[in-house]
Structure 1
Amino acid sequence: MQSELAIPSGVTTSIYSPLNRAADEIRLLTLGPCRPGHRLECTLEKASLQDFRSDYTAFILSNGLSSQTRRQAKEIWAAPTPASDSGPRSDSPPAEDPFLGSVPEPDLYRFNWGDFASLSYVWGDESLREDIILNGGIVSITVNLANALRTFTADEVFTGRYKLWVDAICINQVDDGERSHQVQKMREIYGGAWAVISWIGRSHLGASIHLAFPFLRTLASLEGDKRDLRGLQEPLKDTYLYALNKLMKQRYWFRLWIIQELVMGAPSTVIRFGDEIIDWNTFWRGISVLYHGSNWLFKDEALKRAYTTRGIREQATWQTYSIHLVHSDLRQLTRSEAEGNRQLGFRRLLDVANSTECRDVRDKVFALVGMMDSAIAADIMKAYELEPPRLFAAVSRAFIAYTNGLDPLRQGNPWGGVGTPSWAADWTWNGRIRYSRPEFNGLAPHLDVSEPEPDPALTYCAHGHTTPSYSFLDDWRLLQCEGFVFDGVVGLGAPEAGFFDWDEERVVQCPSWKSSYGSQESTGEALWKTLLLSVIAKGERAVQRHAALLRLPKSFWMALPQFEEKGWDWMAAQAGYYFKWENWHEANDHLMLGDRPLGSFFNNFISDDVDEVTYAEVFSACQRAVQQRRFMLTKGGYFGWGPDNAYSEDPSMELRVGDKIAIIFGCSTPLVIRPKGDKFEVVGEAYVQEFMDGEALSLLESGACEAQIFTFC
C-alpha cells in the first residue's frame, strides 16, 4: 500500500483518531473550495459502512440480495427501474451522463451519511509535491494526487454527501496496526464503493493521449469483420494507435495495487485521464479489438509509421505488458468478480504480481489478497508483519495446506534474492515469464487469449494422482514430503542470456547419452513433442499433424518466401517475433542427441500437406516452450526441459549436470532437486518426455525406484 502523505508533527492526532472496528468505520474525504492560487481545502471524517439507510436495507431484504456481494447488490439497486415501495428508485438516467454512472443521484445513496467512491491511482514522482489543507492542517501530497483532487473539485464532485476514499489520506500511515487492518478491508472498500475511479493522470502540452478515448469507444462499437483495423475509414488511425500506446505506457498500469482495485470495482469502474472518461466495459472491449485477426501485427506497422511521421528516432515498441494485463487478466477477473467468483490459483497470482512495482516487496502478496480464497487470504494476513522470506514461505504453506496439494513447489527455486526457502516461491524473483506457461493460449490468429486459461494443475499428471504426504517442520524453512528420484541430468543445452539470446558456449555435451525412445524416427517424434511441451493451447495435447514443427524453417529469411508463396499472411508477418526460434536453434543445434546433433532432426522446407493454422500453432507453442527453460538430457536416455534463470549473470545460479529429477506425490510435474547436505533444494519444475502422465510410477512398482522422505530447505 502506498504511503505518500507528509503530515507535520502534532497534526496526526487531530486528524487520525482511532477507527471503531466494531462499527466498520473508515475515513472519507470531502473536497472543499479550489480557488486559483490557493491551497485545496479538504475535510476528513469517519463513516460507518454499516450505517445503511432503512430503505436500502429493505430493498436488499425484499429482493433476496443478502447473499450477494456488495458490488452485485449495488448494481441491482442502481439499475434504472420505476419507483417502487421497496425503496426510492430513479427513472431512466439522463441521456448524457458525463460521469458514466460513477456519481449517484442523492436518492440512491445507500448510507445515512451519503455514499462514496474509491480512488485508484499511482503516486507519481514523490519529489513533486503540493500542500493541501486537511482538517485545518497543512499536509503534503504528490502532484499526481493533487491533480486528481483538483479535477474532481472543478467537476463539483465529492464536495457534499458523496465522498472519496483515498488510501494515502484515509489511512493513518504511521499506525502499522491500522494499516494491516485496512489492507484486509481493501476488498470491502473497493468492492463496496459506489464506483472506482481509475485516475491515469493528466495531459501535458504536446500529449495526444486524450485521442485514445474516442478511438477506444469507436473500436468497442465494432463487430465481426468490421473489427479489422485495416478496413477502418479513418485517415488518423496511426495517430489514434500512437495515442493508445501512450495511454498504456502510463505508470499507472505498472502499480500492482491497481489490479485488485480495478477488479473490485468492475463493472462500476471508470477510467479517467484528465477530463476524458470511459467506462471499464467499453475500455476493455476497445482493447480486445487489437487481438482480432491480424490487428496485432497491424498495430506494429501503424506505430512505426507514427514514429516516423513525428521524427521519433527511438524504436517503435508497443507496451504489450499493460495491454495483455487488461485483455488477458483484468478482463477475465472483472467478469469473475461480477459473477461473485474471486479465486486465483497460486501460479496465476505470481504471474499477475510479476513485472509490477511495489515499494515494499511484501506488497507483491498483500496487493493481491483480495484475489485469493478468503480462507487462504485470512491465513496470509496473519503474516503481515513478517519479513519477506518468512512471508513467502507462509504464502506457499497456506496454499499447500488449503489445497492439500504440492503444486506450489513448481514455483520454487534457490535463486531468489531475499533468502526464501527453495520450496517456497520467492515473489521477488525476476525470472518468471508469464507467456512461457504451457496453459497460456498463445497469439495464433484463431485463438482468443482472453479465454480463461486451464488449471495448470490439470495440464499434466506426473504424480499419477498419488496422495500428497507432507509436513511443515518447526523450523519455518523446512518442508518434508514424500516421493522418489527417477532420473538425473547428464547434458544441457544453452541457457538463456536475457530475453533475446542464449549462451551457446555453456552447452554441456554428454558423449555417452543414448536415446531410450528407440529409433531415430521415434527420437524425432519425442523431440517435437518436447519442444511443444506436448501442449498446443487451452491445455489441448499436440497430435500428429503438429510434427510439422520439424519442418518449420529455422530462420525467417528461409521461411518468408515459402509463407508468401502459400499466401500465409499471418506467418509472413512474424518477422519481429521469429527471433526466439532462430536464436534458440543457433545456440542449441550442435547439442548431440547420441550420434546426431539436435539440429539435424529439422528440415527447412514446409510440408505441402499442412495448413497455416497448424504452423501458427506450433510456432506459438515452441516460442512459449523455449522461455524460462533449458533443454536437458537425462541419465536414463530421455530429454526434456529443466528450469532456467535467464536474468542471472552468476553461472552457479543455474541448472547443473548432476541434479536429480524426482516425482513428489501430490505435484503434477516432475521437479529438479539438488542434494544439500542431508537435505534437498527445489531447483524448479521439469518436463521429461514420456514421464508427464504418471509413467514413472511403474518404476516405483517394479522396484527400480524407491520412495523416500525429502526434507526441502
Structure 2
Amino acid sequence: MAQSIYEPLNHEHSNAIRLAKLSYNPHPEIAFVRCSLFRTDLSSGRPYSEALSYTWGPPSPVRDISVNGSYLSIRENLYDFLYTNQQDQEFCENTDLFIDQICINQTDIRERNHQVAQMAQVYQIAKEVIIWLGAESEDSVLFMNTFRQWKDLDFPIRDGMLLAEMIASQRYWQRLWIMQEVLLAREVIIFWGRSSLAWNDLFQILDSRRSKTPLDDRIQHLWLGRRGKDLWGGEGYKWDWAAAVSYAKGSQCEDKRDKIFGLLGLIDPELAISPDYSKSVRDIFLEILLKQTDFWGEHTVTEYRHLANLWATELGLLTKIL
C-alpha cells in the first residue's frame, strides 16, 4: 500500500521532503480523514507553515485514512489530531504540515535514513511547530476553562498549581525527539483537543508551581533553551554527546536507535553521524563513542567511562566499561 502512496524522493542529491495538506470536512459525524501529499525542497530555505511534534503512542489500535487516494494506517493519537483539525476550514486551507508518520515512507529504510538526517532543518524551517498533547477530554476542557479563569483573576496560586500538574503530566514531555523539535523551532504553539495555548503561557503556568518535579525541570529547560540559545554553551545548541546523553537520560522513544538519531540536530557537526536504521543499536553506540573520544583526546579516560556506561544503560546494552 505504501508504494502506491509515495513517489520516490531523490536520496542522493536532494533535500526533498513531503508535506501534507489536510482536506476540510465540516461534518464531525464523518470520521474518515483525507489528505494529500506534495513534495518540496528544503534547500530553497522558504518556510512552510507547520511541523507537528507529537507522540506516536501505542502501535494499536490504528485508524485508516486516505492519503493521495490510497489507504494508510496511522496510530490513534495522530488520527485524533487530524480528525480534530479537519473541521477547521482556515487551518486546512492555509496549513502545509510535516508529519513524520505520513510524510515519510516508514517501510523504506533508505528513505527513513535520508529523512531523519534532515529533521533538524525540517523543524528549523517551519514557520511554527505545533505541539499536540492529545484529543479533547475532560482534562483538556477543565484545563482550558481553569486557564482562562486563572489569567483573568490575577494568577491565583492554587489554580496555577493545578494547571501545572495537568499539563506536566502529559506523556508528550517524556519523548526524546521533542528536544530538537522544540529547541530548533522558530515559533511554538500547543494544541490540546480543540484549544490552543501559547508557549509563553506554558512557562507562566509552570512558574507558579511551588514544588518542582523532574518533568517540570525538563519543560523549563526547553523554555530556557529557546530563550537563550547558548544555555548549554557552544554555538546555538551544538552539544557534544556527553551533554546530550546527560540531558536526554530517561527520555523515551520506541526505537532505541532514536536515542542517538533523535539528538543529531543538537550535536556539534564534528561529532555527527549519518542515520542508518540497518545498523544495530550496539554498532551505532560504538560509532558515536569513538567520535566523542577522538573529540576529547587521550586525557579523558574518566569522561569516556562515564559516557560509555551511561549510554550503554540508556540503550539497553550489556556493555560495561570498567
Shift in Å at residue 180 of structure 1? 0.9
Q: How high is the sequence identity, in percent, across the aligned residues? A: 28
What is the RMSD of the two structures over their aligned residues, measured on CA atoms? 3.0
Please give the secondary structure, in 1, of the residue aligned with 2:4. Answer: helix
Which residue pairs with 1:273 in the alignment?
192
Please give the secondary structure, in 1, of the residue aligned with 2:311. Answer: coil
Partners of 1:360 and 1:341 in 2: CA distance: 27
Which residue pairs with 1:401 in the alignment?
294
Shift in Å at residue 190 of structure 1? 0.3
1:335 aligned partner, one-letter code: R
Shift in Å at residue 214 of structure 1? 3.9
2:163 aligned partner, one-letter code: A
Which residue pairs with 1:412 in the alignment?
305
Please give the secondary structure, in 1, of the residue aligned with 2:284. Answer: helix
1:245 aligned partner, one-letter code: E
Partners of 1:180 and 1:346 in 2: CA distance: 20
Residue 295 (structure 2) pairs with residue 361 (structure 1): no
Residue 150 (structure 2) pairs with residue 258 (structure 1): no
Task: Tell me the TM-score normalised to structure 2 length.
Answer: 0.85
1:19 aligned partner, one-letter code: L
Shift in Å at residue 218 of structure 1? 7.3
Partners of 1:390 and 1:47 in 2: CA distance: 33
User: 2:137 touches 2:193 (CA, 8 Å); kept in 1?
Assistant: no
Shift in Å at residue 406 of structure 1? 4.9
State which of 19, 32, 39 in structure 2 corresponds to 1:39: 32
Which residue pairs with 2:245 in the alignment?
350
**Structure 1 unmatched ranges of 5 or more:** 1-10, 52-69, 71-109, 220-231, 297-317, 414-422, 432-652, 654-680, 684-713
Shift in Å at residue 382 of structure 1? 6.0
Please give the secondary structure, in 2, of the residue aligned with 1:238. Answer: helix
Partners of 1:406 and 1:389 in 2: CA distance: 25
User: 1:32 touches 1:42 (CA, 8 Å); kept in 2?
Assistant: yes
State which of 43, 56, 61 in structure 2 corresponds to 1:128: 61
Alignment of 1:220-231 (within 5 A): none
User: 1:117 touches 1:164 (CA, 8 Å); kept in 2?
Assistant: yes
2:170 aligned partner, one-letter code: Q
Shift in Å at residue 124 of structure 1? 2.3
Partners of 1:374 and 1:218 in 2: CA distance: 46
Please give the secondary structure, in 2, of the residue aligned with 1:46. Answer: strand
Which residue pairs with 1:439 in the alignment?
none
Which has the larger Rg? 1
Residue 87 (structure 2) pairs with residue 154 (structure 1): yes
Shift in Å at residue 163 of structure 1? 0.5
State which of 9, 26, 33 in structure 1 corresponds to 2:17: 26
Partners of 1:157 and 1:338 in 2: CA distance: 37
Distance 1:155 1:321, change over 3 A: farther
Partners of 1:196 and 1:137 in 2: CA distance: 27
Partners of 2:300 and 2:144 in 1: CA distance: 45
Number of matched pairs: 312
User: 2:176 touches 2:253 (CA, 8 Å); kept in 1?
Assistant: yes
Distance 1:338 1:277, change over 3 A: farther
Which residue pairs with 1:209 in the alignment?
143
Please give the secondary structure, in 2, of the residue aligned with 1:351. Answer: helix
State which of 5, 14, 17 in structure 1 corresponds to 2:7: 17
User: 2:116 touches 2:275 (CA, 8 Å); kept in 1?
Assistant: no
CA deviations 1:665-706 (Å, max 9, x no partner) are: xxxxxxxxxxxxxxxx743xxxxxxxxxxxxxxxxxxxxxxx
CA deviations 1:388-436 (Å, max 9, x no partner) are: 22221211211122343654743636xxxxxxxxx834525169xxxxx
Which residue pairs with 2:308 in the alignment?
424
State which of 169, 174, 182 in structure 2 corresponds to 1:249: 169
State which of 216, 229, 233 in structure 2 corresponds to 1:323: 216
User: 1:117 touches 1:195 (CA, 8 Å); kept in 2?
Assistant: yes
Shift in Å at residue 358 of structure 1? 1.2
User: 2:163 touches 2:205 (CA, 8 Å); kept in 1?
Assistant: no
1:209 aligned partner, one-letter code: F
User: 1:132 touches 1:141 (CA, 8 Å); kept in 2?
Assistant: yes
Shift in Å at residue 285 of structure 1? 4.2
CA deviations 1:301-333 (Å, max 9, x no partner) are: xxxxxxxxxxxxxxxxx7x22210011x21232
Which residue pairs with 1:524 in the alignment?
none
CA deviations 1:546-602 (Å, max 9, x no partner) are: xxxxxxxxxxxxxxxxxxxxxxxxxxxxxxxxxxxxxxxxxxxxxxxxxxxxxxxxx
Please give the secondary structure, in 2, of the residue aligned with 1:201. Answer: coil
Partners of 1:159 and 1:366 in 2: CA distance: 31
Please give the secondary structure, in 1, of the residue aligned with 2:60. Answer: coil
Which residue pairs with 1:598 in the alignment?
none
Alignment of 1:384-395 (within 5 A): 385-395=278-288
User: 2:261 touches 2:275 (CA, 8 Å); kept in 1?
Assistant: no
Shift in Å at residue 156 of structure 1? 2.3
Distance 1:349 1:39, change over 3 A: same
User: 1:216 touches 1:283 (CA, 8 Å); kept in 2?
Assistant: no
Partners of 2:117 and 2:151 in 1: CA distance: 35
Please give the secondary structure, in 1, of the residue aligned with 2:138. Answer: coil
| Higher RCO (Cα < 8 Å, 6 or more apart) | 2
Alignment of 1:494-509 (within 5 A): none
Partners of 2:313 and 2:150 in 1: CA distance: 35
Alignment of 1:456-467 (within 5 A): none
Distance 1:403 1:382, change over 3 A: farther
Distance 1:177 1:323, change over 3 A: same
1:271 aligned partner, one-letter code: I
Please give the secondary structure, in 1, of the residue aligned with 2:40. Answer: strand
The structure with more helix, counted as a fraction of residues: 2
Residue 266 (structure 2) pairs with residue 371 (structure 1): yes
CA deviations 1:130-176 (Å, max 9, x no partner) are: 22111111222122111111222222245336310000110010111
Shift in Å at residue 238 of structure 1? 3.1
Shift in Å at residue 253 of structure 1? 0.8
CA deviations 1:100-133 (Å, max 9, x no partner) are: xxxxxxxxxx47xxx3310000112332332211
2:197 aligned partner, one-letter code: I
Shift in Å at residue 288 of structure 1? 3.4
User: 2:133 touches 2:190 (CA, 8 Å); kept in 1?
Assistant: yes
